[in-house]
């Protein structure tokens, strides 16, 4: 009797494992037998091809496109992704057929980050449309794209320069400093004021971002957790997932603190900033839109801060690393700064007379592709695409890295060459294949703001400082990088010598 019970208990304990295995086999074989579905490599049950992606998934996917075509499929974890690897297919999907490709897949980490709110992680639909329309209009009203934004950036440049000068000739890692400087532009728009770099609350917020986006030990794992959430049960990933959730909780605690302080000073007769505008909509009796609630403003604050601080600071750091490795680029920009701006105040009106600086920034955005796989999309309908039939709710990845490193469009794409964007007369040429912020309805709405910040921060730094490598023996190459959600430079130190 006891032996029978032991056998029964043993069988009972195996049922969940057998069930998971059977389910994974179902997904595995259903994928390979879909009619007229894009071809692709076969992966393992449960994990798919996640272990084959390597340290640089965009390069791996680009290589696979040589075998399977620019539109192919790949199982990553329990999901079957369709991968778009060239400009033409991405352009067709996100612009010509945007009604079919504007969704967001229901992915665990994206769900946890968005909690069903915000704009970036919210699925396509009326609520997403209304919130994006509100955010774009509000930011425009607050000065994005106008002279006020330039004034905010140039004022912050002075605080940044003061901090750099206080360090003397000592080499240091500028990562957190740049996040704080660019983040303060967002603080001005969101909350109506900047935060001192040593503010305790601000430092905690930056530390949370640092763990998620910049740590070499965690950054690649976060991407894997997004595309294949099942790996969170594996050793190594389990710790990263736990740390990510803790940092997410900390971030929302900080945002709650900032929001409560702001609500205490709210006056509907004096609307000062983005948060005030949102709170005014929440309190308005005439506004019937149910999306205007506290969880939504939390998420909008987080998204805008990440997009406006992490992304821009990363591109500035890539630029600084380039100066340290290849000072000839810094010298050419310095020459333009001296000739066009002199000792005056940098302005966007100077951009037309600084072709090499514009070419340098476009090459940085191309060569060091900010978000190599962009944010995942999802089909919102059954659709015919590229000669294939793609079912509704299929997750889709757009390989922006492949587009911006396409040898058929960019000669020697792995080389950093700003002059590729200068014509015979030395004038800057805008290239439509440089799409760091993607395009279509789900493009990054901060793209205009990012380009203005990059130009003004970079020209202001060159105007005031010479960037010099802290140590040639420990300086990473411009071709190094840590591949995650955002492609970030490794840790490095440089000196900023006053000119």
Average pLDDT (23-52) is 74
Average pLDDT (90-110) is 91
Each residue of 375-400: pLDDT tens digit? 999 999 999 999 999 999 999 999 99
pLDDT given at position 14: 45
For 466, counting Cβ atoms within 10 Å of its Cβ (0-12 exposed, 13-18 middle, 19+ buried), the class is middle
Average pLDDT (270-289) is 87
Domain of residue 92, CATH code: 1.10.630.10
Helix axes 327-336, 355-367, angle to 10 degrees: 140
Q: Supply the DSSP symbol for 13.
A: H
Residue 23: inside a domain? no
pLDDT given at position 185: 96
Residue 398: inside a domain? yes
pLDDT given at position 15: 47
Average pLDDT (283-300) is 84
Each residue of 328-357: pLDDT tens digit? 999 999 999 999 999 999 999 999 999 999
Percentage of residues in the chain having pLDDT higher than 70: 92
Average pLDDT (469-496) is 88
396, 84 contact by CB (below 8 A):
yes
Average pLDDT (180-208) is 94
Q: Where are the alpha helices (H) located in 115-236, listed in sequence order?
A: 126-141, 147-166, 175-191, 200-213, 219-227
Residue 484: inside a domain? yes
Residue 12: inside a domain? no
Res. 144: pLDDT tops 50: yes
Residue 4: inside a domain? no
Average pLDDT (309-335) is 96
Label residue 7 by pLDDT band (50, 70, 90): very low
Closest by CA to 390, choosing from 77, 87, 73, 91, is 73
pLDDT given at position 117: 85
- Counting the structural domains of the chain, the total is 1
Q: Supply angle C-alpha 62, 64, 67, rounded to 5.
A: 120
Tell me the pairing of strands 71-76 and 79-84.
antiparallel
Phi, psi of 53, deg, nearest 5: -75, -25
pLDDT given at position 32: 46
Average pLDDT (67-91) is 95
pLDDT given at position 53: 87
Average pLDDT over the chain, rounded to whole? 88
Residue 96: inside a domain? yes
Closest by CA to 376, choosing from 394, 353, 355, is 394
Res. 33: pLDDT tops 80: no
Tell me the pairing of strands 383-385 and 494-498.
unpaired
Each residue of 229-245: pLDDT tens digit? 888 888 888 888 888 88
Q: Of residues 22 and 87, which shows the higher confidence score? A: 87
pLDDT given at position 74: 95
Res. 359: pLDDT tops 90: yes
Q: Supply the DSSP symbol for 291.
A: T
DSSP letter string, 370-430: SSTT-S-EE-SS-EEETTEEE-TT-EEEE-HHHHHT-TTTSSSTTS--GGGGB-TTS-B--
Residue 1: inside a domain? no
Residue 8: inside a domain? no
CA distance 282 to 293: 6
What's the farthest any 2 CA atoms get from each other in the chain?
94
pLDDT given at position 23: 54
Tell me the pairing of strands 79-84 and 395-398.
parallel
Tokens in use for 55?
């340290």
Res. 251: pLDDT tops 60: yes
Tell me the pairing of strands 377-378 and 388-390.
unpaired
Q: Write b or e for each residue in 47-83: b if 16 or more Cβ atoms lie within 10 A of its Cβ, otherwise e.
A: bbbbeebeebbbbbbbebbeebbbbbbbbbbbbbbbb
Res. 405: pLDDT tops 50: yes
Q: Is 75 helix (H, G, I), strand (E, B) or coil?
A: strand
> What is the domain extent for residue 426?
34-498
């Amino acid at each position: 009797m006891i032996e029978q019970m032991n056998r029964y208990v043993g069988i009972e304990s195996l049922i969940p494992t057998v069930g998971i295995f059977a389910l994974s086999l179902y997904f595995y074989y259903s994928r390979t037998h879909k009619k007229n579905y894009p071809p692709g490599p076969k992966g393992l049950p449960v994990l798919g091809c996640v272990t084959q992606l390597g340290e640089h998934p965009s390069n791996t996917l680009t290589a696979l496109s040589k075998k399977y075509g620019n539109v192919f499929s790949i199982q990553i974890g329990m999901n079957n992704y369709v991968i778009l690897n060239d400009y033409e297919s991405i352009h067709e999907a996100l612009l010509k057929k945007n009604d079919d490709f504007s969704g967001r897949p229901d992915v665990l980490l994206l769900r946890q980050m968005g909690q069903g709110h915000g704009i970036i992680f919210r699925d396509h639909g009326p609520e997403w449309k209304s919130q994006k329309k509100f955010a774009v209009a509000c930011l425009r009203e607050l000065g994005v794209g106008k002279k006020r934004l330039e004034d905010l950036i140039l004022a912050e440049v002075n605080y940044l320069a003061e901090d750099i000068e206080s360090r003397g000739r000592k080499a240091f890692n500028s990562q957190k400093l740049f996040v704080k400087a660019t983040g303060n532009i967002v603080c001005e728009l969101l909350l109506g004021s900047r935060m001192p770099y040593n503010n305790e609350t601000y430092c905690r917020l930056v530390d949370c971002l640092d763990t998620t986006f910049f740590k070499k030990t965690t950054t690649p794992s976060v991407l894997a957790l997004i595309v294949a959430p099942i790996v969170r049960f594996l050793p190594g990933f389990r710790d990263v997932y736990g740390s990510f959730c803790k940092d997410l909780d900390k971030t929302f605690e900080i945002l709650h603190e900032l929001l409560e302080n702001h609500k205490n000073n709210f006056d509907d007769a004096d609307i000062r900033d983005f948060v005030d505008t949102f709170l005014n909509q929440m309190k308005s009796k005439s506004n019937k839109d149910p999306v205007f609630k506290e969880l939504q403003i939390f998420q909008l604050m987080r998204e805008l801060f990440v997009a406006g601080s992490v992304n821009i600071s990363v591109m500035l750091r890539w630029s600084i690393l380039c100066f340290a490795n290849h000072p000839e680029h810094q010298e050419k920009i310095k020459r333009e700064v001296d000739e066009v701006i002199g000792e005056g105040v940098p302005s966007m009106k100077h951009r037309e007379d600084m072709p090499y600086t514009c070419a340098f920034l476009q090459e940085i955005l191309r060569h060091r592709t900010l978000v190599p796989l962009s944010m995942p999309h999802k089909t919102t309908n059954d659709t015919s695409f590229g000669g294939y039939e793609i079912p509704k709710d299929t997750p889709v990845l757009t390989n922006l890295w492949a587009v911006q490193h396409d040898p058929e469009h960019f000669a020697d794409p792995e080389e950093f060459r700003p002059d590729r964007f200068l014509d015979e007369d030395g004038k800057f040429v805008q290239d439509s294949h440089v799409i760091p912020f993607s395009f279509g309805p789900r493009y990054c709405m901060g793209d205009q703001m990012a380009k203005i910040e990059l130009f003004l921060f970079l020209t202001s730094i060159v105007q005031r400082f010479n960037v010099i490598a802290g140590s040639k023996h420990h300086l990473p190459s411009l071709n190094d990088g840590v591949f995650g959600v955002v492609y970030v430079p490794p840790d490095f130190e440089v000196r900023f010598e006053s000119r």
